[in-house]
Structure 1
Amino acid sequence: MNQQQRLKLIESQLRSYDTGTVEHINEQWIFFDEETEEAALLEQFSNQEIEILRKNSWKRGDLLDGGSVKCGKEVFQLEDGEMIRVRKQLVYSLERLLAELKDEAFLYFINTLNSLHFSIHDCIYCYNHLTFLDPGQGAAGVNFLIFDNEESICSIQHHFNYGDMQNDRFEFTLSSGKRTVIEKIS
């Protein structure tokens, strides 16, 4: 699995966008999150890729200053009340952890998380102990992750031992008490 395939899998996860409407108020563009009903200045998303709902399809472009959007060679202005979505950023320590996992462990982790009705974009906390170790010299420890899909909480312990063999063990515990354990040795 190459990096592009990993990114495609990450991008296709549920809840990978914040969706809402934009309004031009007092000479500023405001983003109203559809789910949380929170308001934020749209300029915080400047120079990020966004998608705009136009003619019943999502049009992808880069948000520029002043409510302008560049789609290919075309630049146009946002309209008041228009629906947009902004890709959520992963928790940095989770992003680093996913990059460290071998392909099979990465797929097992993502597929199990998804089967429990969670997305990697539901991560609210990640302690990545691997960040502090040198995997080239053999590393062992535990990472702690917490996910919230607004229906339940999932706590994950990722036990790893990277010596002569690479061992990844993920222990998923849901707030309902359901537990799942997966292990990948390579």
Structure 2
Amino acid sequence: MFSDVKNDLLHKQKRSFRTATVEMLQAKPILIDDEDDEQISLDDLNDQHIELLKNGRWVDIGHNKEEYLRSGGKIRIKKTFPYAFHSFLNELDDESFIMFVHHLNALSFSVYDIIYCHNQLLYHHGNKPMKGASVFIFDNTDSLCAVQHFFHRGDKQKDLFEFTVSTGERSFVSSIS
């Protein structure tokens, strides 16, 4: 569960939804992803947040998805994070989280652009001091960004992020709490 600060910042992220068009196939609605024209099964969207474009506004359709879907309609599906990345974001204190997300956004990436995640923090158990590095890769369709997260967990929490964009741009941000 994310803090209110984290939820607010995540809510403002670009590319946090996938959009799709509703088509009917044998009297059953199917979804066609607007980005890659692939079919999305309603069964694959069990508990995901889905909204329908109605009169120019996005409206939450709740649990009765099929009831609200009509051929040609537009929907959007809230993207979810891979477990390892969700755990990483949740584990960061609010200050480190804000710093990480703002810097990623300044490089024209969203946290929802994540395509690969290795979270070394998943191997941190208990209150024992630990240091290591995690790796994340983001794709905003124009370029890639590799992020190395060097961390130390002990008396103090230390986080150092190295951002490398495929254009050659590199930057660092860090936090100690």
- The TM tier, using the shorter chain, reads over 0.9
In the TM superposition, 1:135-150 aligns within 5 A as 136-150=127-141
The 2-side partners of 1:36 and 1:135 are apart by 43
The 1-side partners of 2:103 and 2:126 are apart by 24
Residues 41 and 53 of structure 1, relative CA distance in 2, 3 Å threshold:
same
Q: Secondary structure at the match of 2:108?
A: coil
For residue 115 of structure 1, the aligned residue among 106, 120, 123 is 106
Q: Aligned pair 1:182/2:167, yes or no? A: no
Q: Which has the higher strand share?
A: 1
Matched residue type, 1:182: V
Aligned partner of 1:31 in structure 2 is 31
In the TM superposition, 1:51-130 aligns within 5 A as 51-64=51-64, 67-68=66-67, 77-130=68-121
Matched residue type, 2:152: N
The structural deviation recorded for 1:99 is: 0.8
Matched residue type, 1:9: L
Q: Which has the higher contact order (CA 8 A, sep 6+)?
A: 2
Q: What's the TM-score, normalizing by structure 2?
A: 0.93
Q: Aligned pair 1:42/2:42, yes or no? A: yes
- Aligned-residue sequence identity (percent) comes to 37
For the aligned residue pairs, the C-alpha RMSD in angstroms reads 1.5
Matched residue type, 1:97: F
Structure 2 contact 29–70 (Cα < 8 Å) conserved = no
Matched residue type, 1:116: L
The 1-side partners of 2:73 and 2:153 are apart by 49
Kindly tell me the number of residue pairs found equivalent between the two proteins: 176
Matched residue type, 1:155: A
| Gapped regions of structure 2 (runs ≥ 5) | none
The 1-side partners of 2:109 and 2:5 are apart by 20
The 2-side partners of 1:26 and 1:17 are apart by 27
Q: Deviations over 1:113-147 (max 9, x none)?
A: 00000011100111011111126211110001000
Q: Deviations over 1:141-170 (max 9, x none)?
A: 000100011100000100001122221000
For residue 153 of structure 2, the aligned residue among 147, 162, 171 is 162
Moved over 6 A (4+): none
Structure 2 contact 162–171 (Cα < 8 Å) conserved = yes
Q: Secondary structure at the match of 2:72?
A: coil
The 2-side partners of 1:22 and 1:104 are apart by 41
Matched residue type, 1:152: S
| Gapped regions of structure 1 (runs ≥ 5) | 69-76
The 2-side partners of 1:47 and 1:145 are apart by 26
Structure 1 contact 21–82 (Cα < 8 Å) conserved = yes
The 1-side partners of 2:156 and 2:105 are apart by 27
The 2-side partners of 1:141 and 1:174 are apart by 22
Matched residue type, 2:119: N
The 2-side partners of 1:3 and 1:39 are apart by 34
